[in-house]
Amino acid sequence: MKILIITDAWQPQTNGVVTTMNHVVAALEASGHHIKVLHPGLFKSLPLPGYAEVPIVWRAKHFQEHIETFAPDAVHIVTEGPLGWRARAFCQRHGWPFTTAFHTKFAEYLNQRLPFIPVSWGYRFLHWFHHPATRTLVSTHTLIDSLQAKGFNHLHQWNRGVDTDLFHPDRKIALPFAAPIHLYVGRVSVEKNLRDFLDLKLSGSQVVVGDGPDLASLQHHYPQAHFLGKKTGVELAQLFASADVFVFPSKTDTYGLVMLEALASGTPVAAYPATGPLDVINADVGALNDDLSTAIELAKQCDRQACRHYAEHFSWEHCAQTFLKALAPITQKPPAKNAD
């Protein structure tokens, strides 16, 4: 099957969207499917203000030719950005069915950055964007319920996976920080609600891994914390496995892949009872509480082997197969054009 994926978030960005789609593409290709990804690296772009690492396409030359030359059997639109808009318009002009995914609570994120823009306006746009799709893939039951209450329809649950070979308890090493080690991994930006974590008076150490627009400000205001910057691969896996608890203070994430990476490493999770944690974390592998410090203390009591065992049930292969079954086949399309 020839599958066209259009996304405004792609390598070298590091986030849940990119991680998910990288694993899905790899799994589908390993199964013999032919995948083409249209991403910002193929077109002219500018950095998003406040997020220099995020490119925004302003000129997508030969966008239509890319699609027509590939002649896909199915189209999936990952993001609601400029490339997503173009793909949506193309499919509607040609009468092609397509699927979308709801990865990010942009309405809440935009409101946090620009408080004068109501959350309701953001959801009005998101509803407009996803409405023509045959299916909109959503990560959890809690998020599906929330979106249905806002008038979204044709929602299809699509769970996530984790690399249990990379993220493993055997990666544990001695870290140069006072125990217990309270770890956060992710983007360092306002929507991640890191101040709730860093404001806590905890024994041991608070360790922050990641980069983002708020890094310099948080380093200045919280000198007691250890800011390690962006980490990947084995180095990141070692940090996950060596922490005593993983703290996830976000209240706006739709899932939180880093929670699965922590659990696969044998590290319990403390979080708020919000979208994402509500569906990922149970009492055996972590704790959810409106008081984050309480959640942290309860999570530390969880059995690390139980965390690992729980994470082993999340497979990227299963995630890719769910994605594949949700696609909307294109039954009528023009003949493929020559690449030249």
Q: In the chain, what percentage of residues exceed pLDDT 90?
A: 84
Query: 1-5, 15-19, 124-128, 299-303: which range is least confident on average?
Result: 15-19
Domain boundaries defined on the chain: 2-161+318-326, 169-313
Angle among Cα 158, 143, 321 to the nearest 5 degrees reads 0
Domain 169-313 bears CATH identifier 3.30.70.20? no
Q: 227 - beta bridge partners?
A: 208
2-161+318-326 and 169-313, same CATH topology:
yes
- pLDDT over 60 at 340, yes or no: no
For 177-191, write each residue's pLDDT tens digit.
999 999 999 999 999
Angle, to 10 degrees, between the axis of helix 16-30 and the axis of helix 257-264?
70
Contact between 59 and 43 (Cβ < 8 Å): yes
- What pLDDT score was predicted for residue 335? 55
Those residues with Cβ within 8 angstroms of residue 326's Cβ, 6 or more apart along the chain or in another chain: 99, 135, 137, 156, 158
Q: Read off φ and ψ for residue 59, nearest 5 degrees.
A: -145, 110
CATH topology of domain 2-161+318-326: Rossmann fold (3.40.50)
Burial class (CB in 10 A: 0-12, 13-18, 19+), 281: buried
For 56-98, write each residue's pLDDT tens digit.
888 888 999 999 999 999 999 999 999 999 999 999 999 999 9
**Cα dist from 235 to 168, 183, 230, 232, 241, whole Å:** 12, 14, 10, 6, 10
Contact between 134 and 154 (Cβ < 8 Å): yes
